[in-house]
Amino acid sequence: MSTYTVSGRFQSRDGFQPFTKDVEAENEDLARERIYTNVGSQHNRKRTQIEIEEVSAA
């Protein structure tokens, strides 16, 4: 498993909130899925409210 740094933003009451998170995944697609799952559950947001701007290997 590799570590990926994922950055983007999600919709909040005050507009968009930026985020940068490190996740362990086998590839970039799985890293994106983990971000959708984690950010969505932590901030009660749907996938359509989360925008991933960049995924890079750390």
Mean per-residue pLDDT for 19-36?
A: 96
Mean pLDDT across the chain, nearest whole number?
A: 95
Q: Does residue 31 contact residue 4 with C-beta atoms inside 8 Å?
A: yes
Look at the pTM and tell me if it is higher than 0.75.
yes
* Confidence at residue 10, expressed as pLDDT on a 0 to 100 scale: 96
Cite the DSSP H helix spans in 10-51: 28-43
Question: Could you state, in order of their start, the residue ranges of all structural domains in the chain?
Answer: 1-55
Q: What is the band of 40 on the pLDDT scale with cuts at 50, 70, 90? A: very high
Residue 58 has pLDDT above 90, yes or no: no
Domain 1-55 belongs to what topology? Answer: Ubiquitin-like (UB roll) (3.10.20)
